[in-house]
């Protein structure tokens, strides 16, 4: 019996690079909690690059913005649910 061909998963695109390409750059700011919540899991962990699709440069900026936002008490360190 023949095996079905293996499908390659579609590569995710960095939303920040895509926005820059279309002329509307979106700055990564620690005060923009709605944007940063997209990159945090329900447990409060920062999502990995392979999950979010960010490039390495923007992933580093997102991570430092999340850390600054946590320090300023705009985002929680962890969720209260266990």
- Residues 15-26 have pLDDT tens digits of 999 888 888 877
pLDDT at residue 81, rounded to an integer:
57
- Residue spans per domain, the chain: 30-81
The pLDDT-based confidence of 78 (bands split at 50, 70, 90) is confident
pLDDT at residue 20, rounded to an integer:
83
- What is the sign, positive or negative, of the torsion defined by CA atoms of 37, 61, 68, 82? positive
Give the global pTM: 0.80
User: Which CATH number, 4.10.640.10, 3.40.50.720, 3.30.70.890, 2.60.40.10, labels domain 30-81?
Assistant: 4.10.640.10
**Alpha-carbon span 75 to 43, nearest angstrom:** 12
């Amino acid at each position: 019996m023949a095996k079905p061909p293996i499908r390659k998963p579609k590569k995710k695109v960095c939303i920040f690079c895509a926005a820059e390409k279309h002329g509307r750059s979106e700055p990564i700011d620690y005060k923009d909690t709605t944007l940063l919540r997209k990159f945090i899991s329900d447990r409060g962990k920062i999502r990995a690059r392979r999950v979010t699709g960010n490039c390495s440069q923007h992933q580093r900026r997102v991570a430092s913005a999340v850390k600054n936002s946590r320090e300023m008490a705009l985002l929680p360190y962890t969720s209260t649910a266990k």
